Chains A and B, each alone.
Chain A
């Protein structure tokens, strides 16, 4: 189950390429929000430890705060990860397919994804709305739950649009396997994956010289 080499966004000048780039901008933004929340969580936890241990003044509702904030890094970057082919899958079979058969499997996978993600958007939204009408809140600080729950349908809606673009991308390849793939994550062989992993290690060069 290797990952993928990813080239995102595509530089293709077609409408598909443009759609890819448009959604990519949203995805990158959401990924940054999620990254920022992780970074802030790190600082808040340090403040919490110092406050509690040294000044006997823990942050009120700290655990509630963390739980509310978790919605960001648990969901927001889901589409970003999908576009980069970052979600785990088994490539033992599809990794060895070429041409129309490969695109057939990819298209089927995207259709399955569109279905389940669609269901999750609808019922995830209902779940959030129930929390809103019932005034559901966290235990200590009584923060309302609904904004956090709303992140599920929000992130998944972006993912749904991304899947739609991928469906378009795979369908045109299914019709004409000779075309250049646009707006779809490309699979890498284990070797390419390893090379990327090797090259992606930041600071490795400096370490090597030291």
Chain B
């Protein structure tokens, strides 16, 4: 019992409800979380102990070496635009996959996967490929539905394939190894890309007018297209070998990757104004993520004092359903929430309560991270918000939003299949990180 005579659980629930109200009326997430956390801690501990504790959190929770990786990954993404990587990737993917039914769309998916290896931002990727890939597909006689759907869905690969900023954030909230999480995203990212490709091939075989095959690429053309993709290969090799063999910390690997892309961008004509833009945008996105981290961690500290996460865990584990049913329920909840919230905000707000319960059900924390990120990314393409689709429709004025959403539908089914696959065979996710040392 506390000063107001309320039980701790009741205070915790009031806290969660107040946070929801503040977020819904449009208060910035970091402010809403911090103010509710402060109010809760002050209620439970008194003003000076509560406020004093809150005052230390922004610095103590932000300033940890692990988090220094964030600006490096963000910087790689911004610099990658100037390195001309997207067009080169698309050329290579077209030469290698064009002969398949729907080959250009398959190529777009793999070019997206390649670009995801140097970028963590989904919407920006969709914007670039709307310009690079859609005109080519339309010129080759592809339907607008397939062309637009492929580009909108392709962007979501960035959240899984390392470097992924959102996986780093997951790692920080749940205190899981960031290195292992990043490596863990690779295989599911590739599987997702392969499943998307299969769907495209099936779709184009059933409806040849939607995505005709392109013939005539010679082997010499194919090999000539490879050097342009070198920056991507370099970044992948740097990050993977650093994580697997431990010759550099994740931050150092990120910094080296950024440096490589920086040099290539310089060689391809990036000048001071563009560099300044890339750096300022990086600074802005970085501070935005840091603010969310400390803000939410103030709230999490308060929740910890209420004992609510522990009680929720006890409740969930005592439910008379098998864990898989509860897990599917949790995933559906994310599906619904994702229609209204952005990915990072949603993870930060839900994980402090949901994560301990999931662990108590016996699931692997890295596995759950990948699954949750996969769920929230689906929300980036589904109505009503589906920002990626809006981006495609904004770049291509001639393609109505409804067409883009129709183009997305087969891929959402593909994602449901992929997630079931991960539920049935968790090794698909846990195998790769299990090979490396904890770090």
Dominant SS at the B interface?
Answer: helix
Say whether B284 contacts A207, CB under 8 Å: no
- A123 to B50: give the CA distance in the assembly, Å: 10
- A123 to B54: give the CA distance in the assembly, Å: 8
**Other A-B pairs beyond A34-B286, A190-B390, 15, CB < 8 Å:** A46-B259, A81-B291, A88-B29, A90-B26, A112-B31, A112-B32, A119-B51, A122-B55, A124-B59, A128-B59, A197-B123, A201-B81, A203-B274, A207-B132, A210-B84
- B42-80 interface (Cβ within 8 A of A): 51-52, 54-56, 58-59, 62-65, 67-68, 71-72, 75
Inside 8 A of B391's CB, which chain A residues have their CB?
194, 197-198
Say whether B23 contacts A90, CB under 8 Å: yes
Stretch at the interface among B3-11, B159-167, B246-254, B321-329: B246-254
- A184-205 interface (Cβ within 8 A of B): 190-191, 193-195, 197-198, 200-205
A165 CB-CB contact with B under 8 Å: no
Per a CB cutoff under 8 Å, which of B62, B287, B390 touches A191? Answer: B390
Say whether A38 contacts B283, CB under 8 Å: yes
Say whether B287 contacts A45, CB under 8 Å: no
Q: List 16 A-B contacts (CB under 8 A).
A: A38-B75, A48-B252, A53-B247, A75-B287, A77-B286, A86-B288, A87-B31, A88-B344, A90-B23, A120-B55, A149-B59, A200-B124, A202-B82, A203-B270, A207-B131, A210-B87
Inside 8 A of A53's CB, which chain B residues have their CB?
247
- How far in angstroms is the closest Cβ of chain B from A3? 9
A174 CB-CB contact with B under 8 Å: no
User: Could you mark each residue 382-400 of chain B with 1 if its beta carbon is under 8 Å from any beta carbon of chain A, else 0?
Assistant: 0001010011011100000
Inside 8 A of B26's CB, which chain A residues have their CB?
89-91, 93-94, 105-106, 109
Say whether B340 contacts A92, CB under 8 Å: yes
- A198 to B151: give the CA distance in the assembly, Å: 13
Say whether B287 contacts A198, CB under 8 Å: no
- A14 to B395: give the CA distance in the assembly, Å: 37
Say whether A78 contacts B287, CB under 8 Å: yes
A39 CB-CB contact with B under 8 Å: yes
Say whether A116 contacts B31, CB under 8 Å: yes
B282 CB-CB contact with A under 8 Å: yes
- How far in angstroms is the closest Cβ of chain A from B310? 27
- A122 to B228: give the CA distance in the assembly, Å: 53
Say whether A77 contacts B387, CB under 8 Å: no
- A113 to B338: give the CA distance in the assembly, Å: 26
**Interface magnitude class on chain A:** 35 or more
A2 CB-CB contact with B under 8 Å: yes
- A208 to B139: give the CA distance in the assembly, Å: 14
User: Could you mark each residue 108-147 of chain A with 1 if its beta carbon is under 8 Å from any beta carbon of chain B, else 0?
Assistant: 1100110111011011101110000000000000000000
- B260-305 interface (Cβ within 8 A of A): 262, 270, 274, 276-280, 282-288, 290-292
Inside 8 A of A36's CB, which chain B residues have their CB?
279
Query: Which residue of B is nearest A45, CB measured?
Result: B255
Inside 8 A of B24's CB, which chain A residues have their CB?
90, 92-93
A179 CB-CB contact with B under 8 Å: no
Query: Which residue of A is nearest B85, CB measured?
Result: A207
- A64-112 interface (Cβ within 8 A of B): 66-67, 70-71, 73-78, 80-82, 84, 86-94, 105-106, 108-109, 112
A164 CB-CB contact with B under 8 Å: no
Query: Which residue of A is nearest B121, CB measured?
Result: A197
Say whether A81 contacts B68, CB under 8 Å: no
